Amino acid sequence: MSSSKPATTVRRRRVFYIPGYDPIHPRRYRELYRKESAAQADVSDYEIGLKPKTTKGPYGWHVTSVQDGEQVEADVEVLVWSDIVRDSMSSTIPATYLQLVRTAWIYIVSGALWRLMKLRKGPVIAALYPVGMLLLQLILAALVGWGLASAIGLLDAVLPSLVVRLAGVGGGLMSAIAILRWFRARDGKLFAYYLMHDYAYSAQSRGANPPELEARIAEFTELVANALQENVDEVLVVGHSSGAHVGVSVLADLIRQERAPVEGPALGFLSLGQVVPMVSFLPEATRLRRDLRYLSTRDELAWVDVSAPGDGCAFALCDPVTVSGVAPEEKRWPLVFSAAFTQTLSPERWSELRWRFFRLHFQYLCAFDRPGDYDYFRITAGPMTLADRYRDRAPSKSRIDVAVSKYTSVAA
């Protein structure tokens, strides 16, 4: 990555964070930022602190940091779509099992599942986990129900009665329902229903954005466009997990609308732990593929994509544009490199985290005790723009940058 533009010292920054498929209130991200930024500052020897936000609009916080002898003010805001997520997770237990069948059918029949397996096994296993776990719960519930019904049915041999038979059927059915409800009540630890809803949301329109998400993308675009009119040095959009493909469409729309002023603030896009292929490989994801192709050529922004093979929930080091089969000859973005968890976390810390898959998926937003050239808090609260920070950074040699998707058509 290189640029002929002179370096800019950032003193004021606007940061827009787009979460993944997450139903939780955005205050969790403020608390995560507060805790982890303090930990990183201790390791990396800089100052950082949080205050209430100073801007109108979405939920957020204000950051003051002193790094490399420069004081930087940053306003971080969360572009919330958790209400959409919560609505999509309101399905009953039977409806969730219908989602399972429909989602599996779409990924299998379209051929997307087999092509995704050519990229990284980790996220595909993560996608298959809720299917296996929910089927296991259903089988266990059925066995318990059948066992109870059979036990009650033994009485029918002694006291033949319609009441006994109905009691057996009813008791077996009620026990099976109770087992399924018990599992769902504990999904905060099992994540089977949560992940099933996540994958089903992307698959319900075979990759096309649902209307409510399109409306939210338009709102996000407006917020970022307004920030680019302010007296700041950089506007940075951060998309994590599923939020990465939302960010792609937000920025593609913004630039198409010619709302990224040439003489305005630097515009940066940081995608973290992205799962873009889960959507872009689907037949009707023509809007996303168009946006990926378009954004990959633009000089109005700098796009850096960071992931790590240690994150089993992300398509690590997979260039989202190229693997989706839409890379044009003039492609320049994104710069793809690894956060290298096994190197940037001490052996002790890595040993503690390596089997905590969901926690590792959020490591990009956390402190590293052996930091390399990726530091979330230097990027979001330091004196360098995203473009300047990685101006001379080479992409990871182990990245996957070959076309894999079967579907490459784009929206008109």
**Residue labelled with tokens 């964070």:** 17
pLDDT at 4 over 80: no
Task: Give me 244's structure tokens.
Answer: 């990465």
Q: What percent of the chain has pLDDT over 70?
A: 94
- Residue 220 contacts residue 246 (beta carbons within 8 Å): yes
* Whether pLDDT at 364 is above 60: yes
- Structure tokens that stand for 107 in this block: 């990924």
Q: Tens of pLDDT along 225-258?
A: 999 999 999 999 999 999 999 999 999 999 999 9
What whole-number distance in Å separates Cα of residue 385 and Cα of residue 216?
27
Between CA 287 and CA 361 the distance in angstroms is 26
Compute the average pLDDT of residues 189-194.
87
Predicted confidence at residue 338, as pLDDT, reads: 96
- 321/292 Cα distance (integer angstroms): 6
Whether pLDDT at 163 is above 80? no
Find the mean pLDDT for residues 35-55: 93
Segment 175-201 mean pLDDT? 90
What pLDDT band is residue 162 in, cutting at 50, 70 and 90?
A: low
Q: 176 pLDDT exceeds 60?
A: yes
Say if residue 221's pLDDT is above 50: yes
The amino acid sitting at 301 is L
Model confidence, pTM: 0.91
Query: Among all chains, which residue has been given the structure tokens 């390596």?
Result: 354
For residue 2, pLDDT over 60 is answered with no
**pLDDT for 60-110, tens place per residue?**
999 999 999 999 999 999 999 999 999 988 779 999 999 999 999 999 999
- Residue 124: band (very low, low, confident or very high) from pLDDT cuts 50, 70, 90: confident
> What average pLDDT score do residues 175-187 get?
91
> Which ranges of 159-276 would DSSP assign to H, the alpha helix?
162-185, 187-190, 192-203, 211-227, 243-256
Contact 306, 338 (CB under 8 A): yes
pLDDT mean across residues, the chain? 91
Name residues whose C-beta falls within 8 Å of residue 20's C-beta, 6 or more positions apart in sequence. Answer: 240, 241, 242, 243, 273, 275
What is the distance between the alpha carbons of residues 401 and 396, in angstroms, rounded to a whole number?
11
Q: Cβ distance 341 to 347 under 8 Å? A: no
Domain range list for the chain: 1-79+220-235+257-272+293-340+353-412, 88-201
